[in-house]
Amino acid sequence: MLGCLYVHCRSETTSQDKGLRKVTRPPAPSPRSCASRLCSVLAEKERRVKANDREHNDRFPYADNRIKTSKYNAFTFLPVNLFEQFQRVANAYFVILLILQLIPEISSLSWFTTIVPLGLVLAITAVKDATDDYFRHRSDQQVNNRQSQVLIRGSVQNEKWMNVRVGDIIKLENNQFVAADLLLLCSSEPYGLCYVETADLDGETNLKVRQAPNVTSDLGDVSRLTDFDGEVICEPPNNKLDKFTGTLHWRDNEYSLDNEKMLLRGCVLRNTEWCFGMVIFAGLQTKLMQNCGKTKFKRTSLDKLMNTLVLWIFAFLVCMGVILAIGNSIWESWIGRRFEVFLPWGESRSSAVLSGFLTFWSYVIILNTVVPISLYVSVEVLRLSHSLFINWDQKMFCGRTDTPAEARTTTLNEELGQVEFIFSDKTGTLTQNIMAFSKCSIDGQTYGDIYDEFDQRVEITEKTACVDFSFNPLCDRGFKFHDSSLVEATKREDPAVQEFFRLLALCHTVMPEEKSEGDLVYQAQSPDEGALVTAARNFGFVFRARTPETVTLWEMGRAVTYQLLAILDFNNVRKRMSVIVKNPEGHIKLYCKGADTLIFDRLDPSCSRLMNETSEHLSEFAGEGLRTLALACKDIDEEYYEAWAERLRCGSTAIEDREEQLAVLYEEIEQGMKLLGATAIEDKLQEGVPETIARLNLADIKIWVLTGDKLETAMNIGYSCNMLRDDMNEVFVVSGQTRLEVQQQLRSAKEHIVGLSRVSSPGDIEKSDAFADDSVFEEAIIAEYALVINGHSLAHALEPQLEHILLDLACLCKTVICCRVTPLQKAQVVELVRRHRGAVTLAVGDGANDVSMIKTAHIGVGISGQEGMQAVLASDYSFAQFRCLQRLLLVHGRWSYFRMCNFLGYFFYKNFAFTLVHFWYGFFCGFSAQTVYDQWFITLFNIVYTSLPVLAMGLFDQTLSKSYRTSVTRTVCATRACTNRASRTFSSTSAGSSCAPCRG
């Protein structure tokens, strides 16, 4: 039952992915869902829902809670399915052929020669579609018939899900699925809190808090809820899972609503006895359903090649037809005319030209076997099996997290063998994203390193003694720290150290879970936060409980409760988060942590000296590949806060531009802060990363790292995974602030490379600027270069004037690292390479910030790691470890590509060999379209006699199976040869006439 909804929702996407149907186009949405979506798009600018007022709500065309993901019913199945199938070119072609065959004058083959294979193909596809749809029907029904408790006429009654309507008030109990998108009204927990698990929505398994609006949180009993007649005005249905804007109008007051007050369909209620919610979006308009079935279809180059080939073959067929038709005209006028004693022309063939014309169509019928009807079906079968092989591969299975690799799209397998560029995220992809608090700098003093008696830094190993935290009964035993001076500092009650850890314990969004006394588990959305809060916990500032308005700490053994006034949350633009709290003494304080550059810009001038010291420490940390954050705090005047809070309240009820307004307000209060220090978190490299990168490099695949980390960290990771090496000729660092600077840096770097190679190869220097001859050049450069570019510069470099230089330079370098990039820039970089190089790109990442890049690249790979499932959900392939990439590309991709090429070659060969006989025979039978073979033989040749051998080869063929382990170079050579092989196979089978535009 658990996860059923999810499966239900995904059944649409997965079945499309894996289905035979998918080859040509995504199936059209069912008429009904289309209509409802159309309504929502055309008519609905905003939604007005009144609680407990069905008549009012019925006036609007809001969808009810019945969902329908199925496409057919018993009556519409045949016509609709056939209609869909005949939209495929191949099927339509064969129908035209069938019609031609029914004309006796030109029918050279009986109609059954076409209808048998066509019927077979249609039947297989139809059966598959029908089973898919049957399961969709079943799950629809199951979901629609789930029971929920609805408040009707003053009492809570059981009602099926499908009968729930917008505006109804629903009671949910613990561990129940949420039936529709609800506005949380009240719950059994204090302050109208409730907890939900959103695993089905975004794959994150940690609990999330939702809080009812303050005004409704005390509507605890049924009678008061029955009287509730608030009206919600909100945005129309959309698919943004993390955004909601609306207002609640009740008793002449307006209250702002946001995503924190919504329970979305697909969530499960946890740790909450009951709660009431009002239905805002129902059925197909819920955010879950709006997110379903909109997979973007990616096509492989082989797909395109195949279509081109089929077109060429078709042209070839027409050519042969024309030649034979001309032959027929000539034959009939020279020989046939004199042969009339035995074979009169008859009425239908009054002239040789007419006879030739009719013969053309007869030959179109006869030669139809060159256009392979079963090709598309066979290709689908192959791709599906190749994907299953990926899913089944034990070597891509991660035992620790129990995750096998998953091919989420079945159509891209052979493209894997052609990847030339890999764009990789760093955190969580190259590294484990298991964070460990490793160092810190407090008030100009670093902690974390240990020194021996000679003041020499000691290498920290497994055996190094850990700090004993036994003084703290609430400590986390898994936490390891080696520098005891920090503990001493906390024990000394050094105010700076205390404030430092207090910030760490207060400023976060972690949820504590205390199962038994002292057994604390933190549910953190990002592992960084978890690491920091855990560190604070061990050093005596234990974060124990949280309510929406308070945070309770256990500071050095005594409970202190802070009033939580505001959370200024983190996002990718702000790159920092703050909390405003009031301590028991009544002082209001703002605690802020975030990226150092952003924090340093907002510091009080008084701490500039500390800032310098800290930034020195920060670059030192970053140099060791650690992730750093700067911490700052600020005392706030009570009056000032009140005024600010008032404006915040105003801003947060706005429907339009709410985000922008809030951002301005946040910016305003996060000024003039005092620096506390900085933290450094270690993010360990994943298993086998350097080896994988080395292998991929050998295979001539270029790896670009796109990371949000700072330059030093990124470079350090680059060194540790062998992408940057000390023996490289030059590492160019582009970090200009203005366009001109960036341009100059790029130019000089390029000239450096080009200039050096010019020495050995005398060439025209003027030409070196030309874009065209650089590709030739790339081959000639033996020296190794690396390019490191930061986000600021990248923004300039991605402008249309500079992007060519950037691309040229980047392609001349062996390693490219882009740091400090935004998710959008990641996508832009991928797009740049994709557009101008025409190479197959692969993006690999694990977090939500990689989604855009994953979607932009030809192939998106998601690492199912610590940062939720968004990346995986957007990806085409997913697995748990970066090192699986080499097996995916070098083994599965290569095999898939090889098999596919050989399969296509074999397939076209057998069709040509079979059909060209008729062309040859035309010259002996007076170009009369007489067949050589028996009609049944022609009928069954493709789909019965010869389908299995080609399929078997496409499935099981293994080239150089063992070479992978033993010798990489061989694999590499073969990978390269593969491309050549493919083009060769194609051109040779197409008998030179349909020489395909293959990439060499």
Partner 1 sequence: MMASSYKDEDGHISVSGTGAGAGSLPSKKPENTAFKQQRLPAWQPVLTAGTVLPAFFIIGLIFIPIGIGLYVTSNNIKEFEIDYTGLDPSSPCFNCSQNFSWNSTKPCTCSIPFYLEQPYESNVFMYYGLSNFYQNHRRYVKSRDDSQLNGNEESLRKPSKECEPYARHDNRPIAPCGAIANSMFNDTLELFYSDPNGTKTQIPLTATGIAWWTDKHVKFRNPGGNNDNLTAAFQGTTKPINWRRPAYELDSDPENNGFINEDFIVWMRTAALPTFRKLYRIIQRRNTMVPTLPRGNYTLEVVYNYPVRSFDGRKRMIFSTISWMGGKNPFLGIAYITVGSVCFLLGVILLFIHHKYDNRNNNPDISSN
Residue 403, interface with partner 1 (CB under 8 A)?
A: yes
Residue 399, interface with partner 1 (CB under 8 A)?
A: yes
* Residue 781 Cβ vs partner 1, minimum distance, rounded to whole Å: 26
Q: How far apart are CA 460 and CA 867, in angstroms?
A: 28
Region near partner 1 per CB under 8 A, out of 240-248, 339-347, 376-384, 935-943: 339-347
Residue 45, interface with partner 1 (CB under 8 A)?
A: no
Residue 920, interface with partner 1 (CB under 8 A)?
A: no
Phi, psi torsion values for 453, nearest 5 degrees: -65, -20
x-marked contacts with partner 1 along 510-549 as a string, rule CB under 8 A: ----------------------------------------
Sequence-distant (6+) residues with CB within 8 A of 242 are: 259
Binders of partner 1 in range 93-122 (CB under 8 A): 104, 108
* Residue 335 Cβ vs partner 1, minimum distance, rounded to whole Å: 7
Out of 327, 625, 651, 677, name the contact with partner 1 by CB under 8 A: 625
Out of 25, 254, 304, 392, name the contact with partner 1 by CB under 8 A: 392
Q: ∠ CA(40), CA(45), CA(48), 5° rounding?
A: 90
Out of 805, 929, 951, 996, name the contact with partner 1 by CB under 8 A: 929
Binders of partner 1 in range 893-912 (CB under 8 A): 895
Q: Give residue 49's identity as a one-letter amino acid code.
A: V
* Residue 366 Cβ vs partner 1, minimum distance, rounded to whole Å: 9
205 three-state secondary structure: coil
Q: What does DSSP say about strands 253-257 and 181-187: parallel, antiparallel, or unpaired?
A: unpaired
Judged by CB under 8 A, the number of residues near partner 1 is 54
Of 298, 287, 296, 293, the C-alpha closest to 202 is 287
* Residue 332 Cβ vs partner 1, minimum distance, rounded to whole Å: 10
196 three-state secondary structure: strand
Residue 158, interface with partner 1 (CB under 8 A)?
A: no
Residue 87, interface with partner 1 (CB under 8 A)?
A: no
Neighbours of 658 (CB within 10 A): 16
With tokens 């989420």, the residue in question is: 408
Residue whose CB is less far from partner 1, 108 or 291: 108
Supply the DSSP symbol for 26: P
* Residue 704 Cβ vs partner 1, minimum distance, rounded to whole Å: 21
Out of 643, 956, 976, 995, name the contact with partner 1 by CB under 8 A: 956
Alpha helices in 765-802 (DSSP H): 774-780, 791-797
Residue 394, interface with partner 1 (CB under 8 A)?
A: yes
Residue whose CB is less far from partner 1, 503 or 929: 929
Q: How far apart are CA 843 and CA 878, in angstroms?
A: 11
User: For the residues of 543-586, what is the DSSP string, one character each?
Assistant: EEEE-SSEEEEEETTEEEEEEEEEEE---TTT-EEEEEEE-TTS
Of 856, 900, 899, the C-alpha closest to 874 is 856
393 is a catalytic site residue? no
Out of 134, 451, 640, 924, name the contact with partner 1 by CB under 8 A: 924
Phi, psi torsion values for 207, nearest 5 degrees: -75, 145
x-marked contacts with partner 1 along 815-834 as a string, rule CB under 8 A: --------------------
Distances (CA, A) of 61 to 36, 40, 264, 265: 8, 8, 21, 20
Residue 762, interface with partner 1 (CB under 8 A)?
A: no
Residue 937, interface with partner 1 (CB under 8 A)?
A: no
Q: Which two tokens stand for residue 48?
A: 């007005």
Region near partner 1 per CB under 8 A, out of 86-94, 336-344, 517-525, 933-941: 336-344
Region near partner 1 per CB under 8 A, out of 61-69, 395-403, 420-428, 484-492: 395-403
Residue whose CB is less far from partner 1, 485 or 959: 959
Compute, in degrees rounded to 10, the torsion defined by CA atoms 943, 949, 950, 953: 150
With tokens 């790109």, the residue in question is: 841
Burial (0-12, 13-18, 19+ Cβ within 10 Å), 888: buried
Out of 60, 77, 135, 339, name the contact with partner 1 by CB under 8 A: 339
Burial (0-12, 13-18, 19+ Cβ within 10 Å), 587: exposed
Residue whose CB is less far from partner 1, 234 or 929: 929
Residue 459, interface with partner 1 (CB under 8 A)?
A: yes
Residue 990, interface with partner 1 (CB under 8 A)?
A: no
* Residue 900 Cβ vs partner 1, minimum distance, rounded to whole Å: 15
CA 582 from chain centre, in angstroms, equals 41
Out of 389, 909, 933, 937, name the contact with partner 1 by CB under 8 A: 389
Of 842, 838, 879, 846, the C-alpha closest to 859 is 842
* Residue 361 Cβ vs partner 1, minimum distance, rounded to whole Å: 13
Q: How far apart are CA 318 and CA 500, in angstroms?
A: 80
Q: Give residue 56's identity as a one-letter amino acid code.
A: H
Residue 344, interface with partner 1 (CB under 8 A)?
A: yes
Q: Give residue 8's identity as a one-letter amino acid code.
A: H
Catalytic residue among 64, 132, 140, 425: 425
Residue 925, interface with partner 1 (CB under 8 A)?
A: yes
Distances (CA, A) of 93 to 21, 114, 124, 635, 871: 17, 11, 18, 77, 40
Residue 623, interface with partner 1 (CB under 8 A)?
A: no
Residue 2, interface with partner 1 (CB under 8 A)?
A: no
Is 854 in contact with 871 (CB distance < 8 Å)? yes
* Residue 432 Cβ vs partner 1, minimum distance, rounded to whole Å: 7
Sequence-distant (6+) residues with CB within 8 A of 697 are: 703, 814
Residue 967, interface with partner 1 (CB under 8 A)?
A: yes
Residue whose CB is less far from partner 1, 760 or 961: 961
Residue whose CB is less far from partner 1, 271 or 963: 963
Residues at the interface with partner 1 (CB under 8 A): 104, 108, 335-336, 338-339, 341-344, 346, 362, 389, 391-394, 397-404, 432, 459-462, 624-625, 684-685, 687, 720, 895, 924-926, 928-930, 932, 956-961, 963, 966-967, 970
List, by residue number, the catalytic residues: 425
